[in-house]
A and B are shown apart, each in its own frame.
Chain A
Amino acid sequence: QKEVEQNSGPLSVPEGAIASLNCTYSDRGSQSFFWYRQYSGKSPELIMFIYSNGDKEDGRFTAQLNKASQYVSLLIRDSQPSDSATYLCAVEPYGGATNKLIFGTGTLLAVQP
């Protein structure tokens, strides 16, 4: 059973701080990794994707991938109350069916003004 694990939270951070969201996955051969943000009652919105080991930065967001440790994280710098949402980690496992993503259960982030 291929799994993606996230701490459900809530993760509470003060405004302006760095929020660190973590995700581990069980399939060592996984190739593609995605972070989605989902506000309550809305659909998931793609925030970042990463394919290679290391860091990838986009504005206030940095995705970090460590395939040896089977770990992917999302850092949000200068957190704002508008960042309060559930963050879903999604992983495409190796081989098997085309285009299938395995989602974690999500981490609820609460940014306190």
Chain B
Amino acid sequence: DTEVTQTPKHLVMGMTNKKSLKCEQHMGHRAMYWYKQKAKKPPELMFVYSYEKLSINESVPSRFSPECPNSSLLNLHLHALQPEDSALYLCASSQGRSDEQFFGPGTRLTVL
């Protein structure tokens, strides 16, 4: 089963809202990632969790807060977002370093 799932598929939120994006994988992968992708741009890495520990934070604003409750789950908590944060948020997982990353279907986020 080479599947990464993400919920919700679409999310519309106001600038004062708090919401969370969820990601799950059951491939036994030890690394999980959050990416942000704007239209006609490549994915931009936000965070990497390796063995449930945050290993990379690409200087992401604190209004984005990642959480890895266990090896299969990855959350992204959102608070006080700006309209420019509207994008496709992608979760990915991989077995480890240098291994191929598998992407979930993404959450299309719109901030009003």
Contact = CB atoms under 8 A, between A and B. Distances in A.
Interface string B90-112: 10001011101111111000000
Contact of B100 (A31, A34, A105, A106): A34
Contact of A101 (B55, B96, B101, B102): B101
Interface of B: 31, 33, 41-43, 45, 48, 50, 55-56, 88, 90, 94, 96-98, 100-106
Interface of A: 31-32, 34, 36, 42-46, 49, 51, 88, 92, 97-101, 103-106
Interface centre among B88, B94, B102, B103 (most CB of A within 10 A): B103
Contacts of B98: 31-32, 51, 92, 99
Contacts of A92: 97-98
B3 to A, nearest CB: 12
Interface SS of chain A: helix, strand, loop or mixed?
Answer: loop
